[in-house]
Amino acid sequence: MLRNVFLKSLRDLRRSFAWWAFGLVGYVALIASVYPTIRDNPDLEKLVESYPEALKAFIAFGGQFDFTSPRATSAASSSRS
């Protein structure tokens, strides 16, 4: 039996953590591989421009939002925190 409860908890959860980390890395790899397709697609911009103003405001949380810009995406994420 381990003396430290924290170390025992880490030991007990090591498999769960490994699968969680594997899934997170897979998700990031998927997003990174799909991003160039979204970035270079002018049809996505046209589609977003055709949305009603209320829907665009809801998706962008009331501000301007460019789905093809990584800077806009990271700024929107940090403003919600």
Q: What are the domain boundaries of the chain? A: 1-40, 41-81
pLDDT at residue 75 greater than cutoff 60: no
Per-residue pLDDT tens digits for 21-63? 999 999 999 999 988 888 878 888 888 788 888 887 787 755 6
Q: What is the mean pLDDT of residues 57-73?
A: 65
pLDDT value, residue 24 = 97
This prediction's pTM: 0.53
> Could you give the 3-state DSSP secondary structure of residue 41?
coil
- As a whole number of angstroms, the distance between CA 11 and CA 33 comes to 33
Is the separation of the CB atoms in 45 and 68 below 8 Å?
yes
The answer on pLDDT for 81 being more than 70 is no
* pLDDT score, position 68: 64
